Amino acid sequence: MLCRLAPLDGGAVRLIPYLSLACAGAVMALAAAYPARYLPERLVPRGIPLLALVVSALMVMACSVQRLDPFSPLSMEVMKFIHDFVHQFFESMLIPDHPFFRTDVWSYIGLLFSDKVGLWGGLALWYLPVLFIALALRLERLPSVAHIRQGAARRKLLAAFIRERRLRLVAPLLALVLLTGAAYQSRFPATEYWDPKPIEVTATPAGQIVIPKKGEVDLEDGKLHKFSYRQGSREARFFVMQTPAGQLVTTLDACAICQPEGYAQAGNAVICYYCRTLIPLETVGKPGGCNPVPVPCSVKGDTVVIDGMTLLNTWESTVQVTAHGKGMGK
């Protein structure tokens, strides 16, 4: 008998990878009991060490899928926390803002906003739970041997305990190796990004940038298309693309938070090269967060029209601030 299944809505579709990961975790936990039947008793991980091993294996699986990758958002949150902390510190201590600071001072402060700080801070938090587990095992108290009179028996009991404790450290140490592999997958994914070279454009005498929909590139093919516009010593990078809703949008090739390293497209999302945050295509063209900064445009017939001065001013008011690590003063 045939039956008709109701189509899944967007929320249900987005839950599928997480449900799959949860099912994989349950299967791995059950599968861990099978080899345990053939291993020596002292080599079988149990309790929290086993949990750390399973979770780290799940992290490897999650970091191999862009939508599930937890390490990149963790690094981004570390960078955001440091940025907000420094900003609030300056505000609470009534320290004058950057117009009163020398450039070399801001160069040192800018180090706190680099992606390397987010990377190493994220790694510290990434490893911390497993390191605590390993430390707790390593510092486990030796058993009392006061009731044993023979020295040889005492030494044997203590030696057996220390040997068993070392073997129990294998699980968290292996978990650390897996977490390292997961972090590496997150930082260097195997995904091939669509990142075309920016096409230089010029403006009309009225200062309008006119880009044909079907010119050198097809703006309506759903792909990200980059352009650059120069006026004297001023220059701005931007891209045009059609969202899944069929709307042509124009944005800077940068956001108002990160340093302007640009975006690339991977499947149904664009990715920020600086913080590795994935931006769904549905939200491209909308302000906020790590979304690329939108630039007003109008569609006139078969062309997309952008005001050149507005584009340059938007670039300079948002991107140049983050490029020099001075985002606190915004």
* Residue pair 281/268 in contact by the 8 Å Cβ criterion: yes
What percentage of residues in the chain have a pLDDT greater than 90? Answer: 26
CATH 2.102.10 intervals, the chain: 199-329
**Fold (topology level) of 199-329:** Rieske Iron-sulfur Protein (2.102.10)
Amino acid sitting at position 258: C
Residue bearing the bigger pLDDT, 4 or 237: 237
Question: What confidence tier does 306 reach under pLDDT thresholds 50, 70, 90?
Answer: very high
pLDDT per position as a tens digit, 138-161? 888 888 877 887 878 888 888 888
pLDDT per position as a tens digit, 120-140? 888 999 999 999 999 988 888
Question: What confidence tier does 48 reach under pLDDT thresholds 50, 70, 90?
Answer: confident
What is the pLDDT, as a whole number, of residue 128? Answer: 93
What is the pLDDT, as a whole number, of residue 145? Answer: 77
Which helix (H) or strand (E) element contains residue 105?
helix 103-110
Which helix (H) or strand (E) element contains residue 162?
helix 151-168
What is the pLDDT, as a whole number, of residue 52? Answer: 84
What is the pLDDT, as a whole number, of residue 160? Answer: 84
Count of CB atoms situated within 10 Å of the CB of 65: 14
Q: How far apart are CA 230 and CA 253, in angstroms?
A: 14
What is the token pair recorded at 157?
Answer: 């009991």
Residue bearing the bigger pLDDT, 36 or 270: 270
What is the pLDDT, as a whole number, of residue 16? Answer: 46
What is the token pair recorded at 253?
Answer: 């090739």
- What is the pTM (predicted TM-score) of this model? 0.61
